[in-house]
Chains A and B, each alone.
Chain A
């Protein structure tokens, strides 16, 4: 299997799906000749032409609404927002229109759109270009929320997202674009809603998403040196959430730490903690610990930004506080 970056994996998924189904097309700001803000759509304009890789004006509401309208009219748009932070401008078209059309219309509309958005801190982009907003999307019935960490997962899940008949919010982490891993050349899918154990361990479960999976794996190596074997569970999707996988792991390890880059307060970890408390509290022999960003906007200056992002030490000390 060839080594590919997360970015290449995404690009390949888009190419394969566009080749497979002529109803799949891309729209977004600078996705054409320019190749996308982070380069994910590179080369597709030359290959598929401007009718299928559509450069839009900088008008996020119109992009999302047009994607929803086109999806309801029989196409499979893959829309890109340059940064997840811009969703605020266009949220109505996502959560009041795309997400609800099917339900509101009594099942009559099908809205197979995918919305790709990079999120996350770490490149000095400051408060309006660095947030992790997955909790917003998890809270809206009608949306699916996919948040892959590895190149392999990114490709398989993006293909699944494009083929899904529902609006799928596909969250990429800017710092992951350059991460490499083994990715098959051919097309394959990963079921949306199925998580994966990224590292097995018997002493504590660390549920981590996106970029934080790597931080958790590093933390697990440190803990190993101290005799604690951590199991790292990557749900890969937050809606639907693979709660069975999480609960099974907790039953084995009897301890749970949840790590994400989103602000900890009312973040995705709150929901995961509540589910485990509701459904598996008898298996826990310690309180659930959450590791997330502090309750402040993402800062600019490098030392502040690095301090803001949950790190290996945060996870290690959370684990040690209960193990």
Chain B
């Protein structure tokens, strides 16, 4: 697939934005400045980036509890996200949602989700709405390997296929459902095999190769837009950090982590762009510096933002 420089650079920026955002969160969580949980996306940046690059602003996504990457890739505002994760009034959800519940319906983000497997049926609803209103929008459901075993996911695959909905299921297989490795939680090796049960295409891609993800999801989106129904794209990747920050991660071996860190999707893509002369070393450095600055500004914005007033507690329970 021949891609424009603009698209390639956009993907490169997005991956770096997610990486730096997450590293900042890691730092501030360790420093005790972030309440609650954060589930970091480090190592999985190519999936969200490749998948969302195949979408337009009008297309909808549902996300997971490891959602920062998806949201940023879909265009989520760094400052509003950071402020929300810091629990500030200026955040995306006015400090009421936190890391696991950030949404921006204007950007087609139907929300991160604190429930494993919670997003599938919502994505079916978004796709149903697109079909009902005869728009050519699609919905994309991110779900993990853990969620792939939930009934809600299977129900959603079935319903979407039975109704030929414009929906793309993007499975982010990072090898673990919290601490439980895939080999202990399911008999199949490839989650994409399950697509056969619903008579939809199921493909496996290298989830650390942003272009491979982009290509497969683009294909699935095309099919969805043509009214040919849903697809399942399984992206094999790996979670560098524990399930949540603070997880001692004693359930996996160091070798495994090192092996996957050697397959880091960022330098891989960077070398490709340098080799093809899409970007020069200098351009790469300036992009990284700019994004680093954006992330710093987002942190400052969050830190300087007020905490929500308790008088706002009861707002938005009902419309």
Contact = CB atoms under 8 A, between A and B. Distances in A.
Interface of A: 25, 51, 56-57, 59, 61-75, 77, 92-93, 96-97, 101-112, 141-142, 144, 165-166
B92 A105 contact: yes
B152 A73 contact: no
Contacts of A142: 317-318
B122 A65 contact: yes
A103 B103 CA distance: 11
A238 B146 CA distance: 37
B229 interface: no
B97 A68 contact: no
B104 interface: yes
Contacts of A141: 317
A270 B91 CA distance: 38
A104 B123 CA distance: 18
Given A51-B132, A65-B121, A96-B118, A106 B158 contact: no
A239 to B, nearest CB: 10
Interface in B105-150: 105, 110-111, 113-115, 118, 120-130, 132-133, 139
Interface centre among A105, A110, A144 (most CB of B within 10 A): A105
Contacts of A101: 103, 111
A108 B118 contact: no
A67 to B, nearest CB: 6
Contact of A70 (B113, B132, B155, B318): B132
7 contacts: A57-B162, A59-B155, A66-B128, A72-B126, A93-B122, A97-B115, A105-B101
Interface in B178-216: none
Contacts of A72: 105, 110, 122, 125-126
Contact of B159 (A57, A144, A166): A57
Contacts of B36: none
Contact of B124 (A66, A103, A112, A165): A66
A61 B129 contact: no
B64 interface: no
A103 B162 CA distance: 32
Q: Which 6 A-B pairs have the closest CB atoms?
A: A65-B121, A69-B125, A106-B93, A73-B129, A165-B319, A69-B122
Interface of B: 60, 62, 91-97, 101-105, 110-111, 113-115, 118, 120-130, 132-133, 139, 151-152, 155-156, 158-159, 162, 315-319
B260 to A, nearest CB: 32
A59 B158 contact: yes
Nearest to B98: A104
A105 B156 contact: no
A236 to B, nearest CB: 18
A144 B318 contact: yes
Contacts of A106: 91-97, 316
* Most A C-beta atoms less than 10 A away, residue of B105, B110, B120, B319: B319
Contacts of B62: 69
A119 B76 CA distance: 43
Contacts of A66: 121-122, 124-125, 128, 159
Contacts of B133: 74-75
Contacts of B120: 62, 65
Contact of A92 (B118, B123, B319): B118
Contacts of B139: 69
B155 A96 contact: no
Given A65-B124, A102-B319, A105-B92, 5 more contacts: A51-B132, A57-B162, A69-B139, A73-B60, A93-B121
A64 B122 CA distance: 9
A101 B103 CA distance: 9
A75 B97 contact: no
Given A72-B110, A142-B317, A65 B129 contact: no
A103 B126 CA distance: 19
Most A-side CB within 10 Å, residue of B124, B130, B315: B124
Given A72-B105, A142-B318, A67 B125 contact: yes
A109 B113 CA distance: 14
B193 to A, nearest CB: 21
B315 A107 contact: yes
A68 B92 CA distance: 20
A106 B98 CA distance: 10
Contacts of A165: 318-319
Contacts of A62: 120-121, 124, 152, 155-156, 158-159
Given A59-B159, A102-B318, A109 B103 contact: yes
Contacts of A104: 93, 96-97, 101, 103, 111
Of B121, B152, B158, chain A has the most CB atoms within 10 Å of the CB of B121
Contacts of B319: 102, 110-112, 165-166
B64 to A, nearest CB: 13
A188 to B, nearest CB: 22
Nearest to B150: A61
A64 B103 CA distance: 20
Contact of B121 (A64, A109, A111): A64
A19 B178 CA distance: 48
B132 A75 contact: yes
Among A77, A108, A110, max chain B CB count under 10 A is at: A108
A51 B103 CA distance: 29
